[in-house]
Amino acid sequence: MAEHLKAADMVIEIRDARIPQASKNPVLDQLIGERPRLIILSKADLADPEKTQEWIRTLKSASQDVLALDLAHDTSAKKQIIDACMKLTEPKRQKMISRGIRPRAMRAMVCGIPNSGKSTMINRIAGKTVAKTEDKPGVTRSLSWIHCGKTLDILDTPGVLWPKFDDHKTAVFLAATGAIKEDILDLKEITGVTIDQICLLYPGNLEKEYGMDEQSSREDKLGKIAESRNLRKENDLPDEERAAILFLREFRRGKIGRLTLENPDEKE
Ligand SMILES: Nc1nc2c(ncn2[C@@H]2O[C@H](COP(=O)(O)OP(=O)(O)OP(=O)(O)O)[C@@H](O)[C@H]2O)c(=O)[nH]1
Ligand SMILES: [Mg+2]
């Protein structure tokens, strides 16, 4: 990825709008050097719109712009992305002009952690499904770029960043949103920590959805989810295992509401 980055004038970093801190990879900050960066907060349709605005304000800077997008459905995403990239690379083109060089198309590389929406974004920009090119060892592979008009080229191979699990909560949030496989952590632990966080940031939300007492134990909360969705074991007791699986599915689909698990003031 570092090798591909050398050919790029800027970077498009995709993060999950529900976990803008946990879905970043700090190594990118070092790799990126002086290049401008466009951060796309993907899955904005599933995140809390107010929190997303707070995150945008926090992350924006002179060399860094932020767009919150529903990459899967928003047909205006392509234009928004191209416009933001052209604005960020304007100083570079000006520099070329002042040196008497005719500005060429700017090159952007897409990076992000697994499942953040990299392929969805590239396909949206390309307007079609870009065929995956195979990476054969020993064969020098020329980079392949998607041309967005005459002004912007986007590398068709995204850079996969591994998320950094600097703490337990980060790992849990990554599992809850589907960025890492949930089997690396205990299922009840993932749901327990996620439920605690939702109760903290959105009090009353889960009480309304599942009739749970938000002060009760994790076990009791899962029991309430099972009861409210009529998930029972053979002995007629609430099935907490299935309740945990169902809760995660409902959270990921946004069925419990548009929720953001991290506040910008916590870190960053
Ligand atoms: N609701 C919603 N779903 C999205 C959005 N962006 C991507 N998705 C979905 O998220 C899933 C993962 O998207 P991909 O584009 O495959 O993510 P990726 O970063 O290429 O993932 P890897 O190739 O596994 O690293 C897919 O099911 C997409 O449809 C979005 O903005 N909103
Ligand atoms: Mg992909």
Residue 7, domain CATH: 3.40.50.300
Q: Regarding predicted confidence, which is higher, 107 or 184? A: 107
Q: d(Cα 250, Cα 221) in Å, to the nearest integer?
A: 15
H-only helix segments in 150-204: 168-177, 187-201
pLDDT digits (tens, 9 = 90+) for 254-266: 999 999 999 997 5
- pLDDT score of 138 more than 60: no
Residues with CB under 5 Å of ion ligand 2 are 118-119
Q: Which atom of ligand 1 is nearest to the CA of 14?
A: 19
> pLDDT-based confidence at 102, cuts 50/70/90?
very high
pLDDT of 268 reads 45
- pLDDT score of 108 more than 90: yes
- pLDDT score of 118 more than 90: yes
Three-class secondary structure of residue 111 per DSSP: strand
> pLDDT-based confidence at 141, cuts 50/70/90?
low
Question: 0.85 cut: is pTM over it?
Answer: yes
**Residue 193 near residue 175, CB atoms below 8 Å:** no
pLDDT digits (tens, 9 = 90+) for 8-31: 999 999 999 999 999 998 889 999
| Helix, strand and coil percent figures for the chain, each rounded to 5 | 40, 15, 45
Of 172-186, 201-215, 244-258, the least confident: 172-186
| Same-domain pairing of 137 and 100 | yes
- pLDDT score of 120 more than 80: yes
- pLDDT score of 174 more than 70: yes
| Same-domain pairing of 123 and 24 | yes
Q: Which of 77, 176, 167 is nearest to 117 (CA)?
A: 77
pLDDT of 71 reads 96
pLDDT of 115 reads 93
Mutate to test the pocket of ligand 1, among 25, 115, 130 (most ligand atoms within 8 A of CB): 115
Q: Is residue 71 part of a domain?
A: yes
Find the 180 Cα to ligand 2 centroid distance in Å: 14
The phi, psi pair for 262, rounded to 5°, reads -130, 135
User: What count of other Cβ atoms lies within 10 Å of the Cβ of residue 225?
Assistant: 25
Q: How many domains does the chain have?
A: 2
| Same-domain pairing of 95 and 220 | no
- pLDDT score of 155 more than 60: yes
Q: Which atom of ligand 1 is nearest to the CA of 46?
A: 1
| Same-domain pairing of 39 and 137 | yes
Ligand that lies nearest to the alpha carbon of residue 160, given by its number in the listed order: 1
- pLDDT score of 104 more than 70: yes
Nearest-CA residue for atom 29 of ligand 1: 72
pLDDT digits (tens, 9 = 90+) for 216-247: 999 999 999 999 999 999 999 999 999 999 99
Domain that holds residue 140: 2-160
Chain-wide mean pLDDT for the chain? 91
pLDDT of 36 reads 97
Ligand that lies nearest to the alpha carbon of residue 120, given by its number in the listed order: 1
Give the start-end residues of each E strand in the chain.
10-16, 37-42, 64-68, 106-112, 145-148, 152-155, 159-160
Q: In the structure encoding, which two tokens stand for residue 185, read together?
A: 């952590």
Q: Is residue 72 part of a domain?
A: yes
Mean pLDDT score, 96-125: 94
Residue 175 sits in a domain whose CATH number is 1.10.1580.10
- Give the residue from 160, 182, 198 where a domain finishes: 160
Q: Is residue 261 part of a domain?
A: no
